[in-house]
Structure 1
Amino acid sequence: MKILAIDPSSNQAITSTSGIVYLDNAKLLDHWTVEYGVSNFKKWAKEVGQQLKPDVIVIEKFELRDGSADNSVLETIAEIMKWFPEAILFRNAGYASDIPNELLKGLGLYKFSKSHHQDVRAAARLGLFWAMRNDVQEVVDDIGGQLELNT
């Protein structure tokens, strides 16, 4: 199963980035760190995103955090949905405990080029979390297989 997972950026904070991973089950096919906002995501979608053929697209569902007044992530999500209307908005609550750092390290999905808040890692975690929470057996089996190969 090919999974395109996206951790969307702010549309205001210039230091924010969208993290994007393209997985084949638990294997990384490619990844991108896209500069903040709608216009940069639109450029990525035109140049790269439209050529991809994922089976599923998962976007982190935005929930305003305490002390933050930046709702502009919703603008970026709206742009992503224009390009990928079939995408699933998925809440990430519990994803760090279900997909711990050690698991990401074992799968080679932990260390990526610098992004704002490890957005590419967050996207990888989100894609695997969605698959596990939805009992996508081929992804779960591949996680086990990859861990066996890498130990």
Structure 2
Amino acid sequence: QCVPYNCLSNPENEILDIESLSSRSREQVAEISLGLTRFLLESLLPGASFGFALFDIIWGVIGPDQWNLFLAQIEQLIDQRIEAHVRNQAISRLEGLGDSYEVYIESLREWEGSPNNEGLQQDVRNRFSNTDNALITGYL
């Protein structure tokens, strides 16, 4: 038996088993709780009834179906934004790889003009290594 002073300290006794309630019963419990809270706030706070009336008007105009549509549109915008970011990032990486390749080709042409120049030969090696690493790792 659950008496008021020990109900909370005894976990075996549950005052209200929320899990076993149907979804409609849960909605009714929530409506009763909100109604009681609303009554208490309207009684204690002078402007609360105006605030609740305003909330009712807004909620009536923008009901649950409209909120779901609104949230779906927001999710689409976020997905588009992420897709645009990923696309821009990929384009940037490809442009970087292309630039690295162009620098390698430029140094290769310079070395072809002077094949005995060890400085140009080392530059070609470095540019090739940089371009090769960028292609393998996908980063520049």
TM bucket, shorter chain: under 0.3
TM-score, structure 2 as length reference: 0.22
Larger relative CO (CA 8 A, sep 6+): 1 or 2?
A: 1
Work out which of the two has the higher radius of gyration on C-alpha atoms and give 1 or 2.
2
In terms of fraction of residues, the more strand-rich structure is 1
